[in-house]
Amino acid sequence: MSKSLNKIMAQFNVNASIENYGNGHINDTYISKPDDYILQRINTNIFKNPAELMDNIENVTAFLRKKIAAYGGDPERETLTVVHTMDNKNYYQDGDACFRMYKFVSNTITIENADDPMDMYRAGHGFGRFQALLDDYPALTLHETIADFHNTPKRLEALEKAISEDKVGRVKDVVNEIKFVLDRKEMASTVVRAINDGEIPVRVTHNDTKINNILFDADTREAICVIDLDTVMPGSALYDFGDALRIGASTAAEDETNLDGVHFGIEKFKAFAKGYLEETSKFLTKKEIELLAFSAKLMTFECGVRFLTDHIDGDTYFKIHRNNHNLDRARNQFKLVAEIEEIEEELNKLIYGICAEIKLKNKKK
Ligand code: ADP
Ligand code: GN1
Ligand code: MG
């Protein structure tokens, strides 16, 4: 592979060949051969302060490592390990480019789209445990790596700005999608308002809980390690719960264009919620529980808004692999939002049913 990447690897004292890896939309990921290390080029157009970002990751993984050791887990497999450069830095800067390295967590798989609700149950445990382990981490000591990341009203403002600028002349082709968003403008502020009013707490959250951001054990399929920690910041548990269901509960990929095949799977929602609540119901507040089902709708909506904005802006943020890729993604997300609207009450009942079951089980113990 590229000679210059080999030079970068050498900065981390690793001499190996290297290949492209992973399906992320933001960073460039490579794997060493033999597969002992992951090298990533941090997307510094998006993450403007790599030093602060790596500071967050080092601190959070160090905290997790202690907790994992305390419960008898394996810190080498259950959280990421940052590899330092030869001069003991946690990333290497080569001109404008920034690279970091992690130990490769072996014998694991990633799942792009869960077909089996049991995988969603395990994912729910994975992200729920992550939240639980970080429950006593001092949230406000973390840097905000992307300002207002899940501030949905601000995401709408960005869309409105993109529409008014219409930089690449695409607005005329997306009037239906724009209308879909503007018709739902009111719900956008629900979580931000609840945080500002002190109705729901600020917690340490992951903020990008796509199912492919968990490593599952290749043999047992247990969710063992939460990865992609760039957006770990102060946030709301609702962001993590909702965002995980956005693709996790869908019957199709995020960019599926045949919308007849894109549905919000209730069984997968239920399975994820059960796993997540088994880890978190003891500390989530009443208001958070009340908004869990809503958060799946909100986070799917927000991501659709971001894809639509990027399409209108000329595809400058998310990696695209074909024409109209961001528009396809946006339409896919809006199809899911429309479906969740139809079943939101049912989803709420499922949440309360699961909470009651967990309470009963804990009483019997
Ligand atoms: P992005 O921000 O671009 O999504 P990720 O950090 O999620 O990048 O990494 C992309 C993919 O690389 C993941 O989905 C996973 O398959 C793989 N990966 C990342 N880190 C590790 C690791 N430490 N061990 C094993 N696989 C990893
Ligand atoms: C990006 O990095 P990745 O592919 O896990 C994005 C998320 C979006 C997601 C949509 C930093 O996640 O917020 O929900 O794409 N990450 C960032 O698939 O913007
Ligand atoms: Mg990722």
pLDDT value for 3: 61
Ligand 2 close to Cβ of residue 231 (< 6 A): yes
Residue 58 pLDDT greater than 80, yes or no: yes
pLDDT digits (tens, 9 = 90+) for 324-341: 999 999 999 999 999 999
Distance of CA 31 to the CA centre of its chain: 21
Cis peptide, bond prior to residue 201, ω within 30 of zero: no
Q: How confident is the model at residue 177 (pLDDT cuts 50, 70, 90)?
A: very high
H helical segments located in the chain: 3-11, 50-70, 75-78, 117-133, 152-165, 175-182, 190-196, 237-248, 266-280, 286-290, 292-313, 325-364
CA of 24 to the centre of ligand 1 (A): 7
Quick one: average pLDDT of 55-78?
A: 98
pLDDT value for 346: 98
d(CA 174, CA 163) in angstroms, rounded, equals 10
Interior angle at CA 95, CA 88 and CA 19, nearest 5? 75
For 306, residues 6+ apart whose C-beta sits below 8 A from its C-beta are 155, 158, 317, 318
Structure tokens of 11?
């900065």
Residue 238 pLDDT greater than 90, yes or no: yes
**Residues belonging to the chain:** 365
Strand partners, 29: 40
pLDDT value for 8: 95
**φ, ψ for residue 168, nearest 5 deg:** -120, 20
pLDDT value for 1: 42
Atom of ligand 2 nearest to the CA of 25: 4
Residue 208 pLDDT greater than 60, yes or no: yes
pLDDT digits (tens, 9 = 90+) for 315-327: 999 999 999 999 9
Atom of ligand 1 nearest to the CA of 27: 3
> Which amino acid type is present at position 98?
C
Q: How confident is the model at residue 35 (pLDDT cuts 50, 70, 90)?
A: confident
Atom of ligand 2 nearest to the CA of 307: 10
Mean pLDDT (the chain) is: 96
User: Which residue from 28, 318, 321, 333 has its CB within 8 A of the most atoms of ligand 2, so it is best to mutate?
Assistant: 318
Quick one: average pLDDT of 203-218?
A: 97
**Percentage of the chain exceeding pLDDT 90:** 95
Q: How confident is the model at residue 358 (pLDDT cuts 50, 70, 90)?
A: very high
pLDDT value for 149: 98
d(CA 226, CA 141) in angstroms, rounded, equals 21
pLDDT digits (tens, 9 = 90+) for 117-171: 999 999 999 999 999 999 999 998 999 999 999 999 999 999 999 999 999 999 9
What's the helix, strand, coil split of the chain in %, to 5?
55, 15, 35
Helix (H, G, I), strand (E, B) or coil at 308: helix
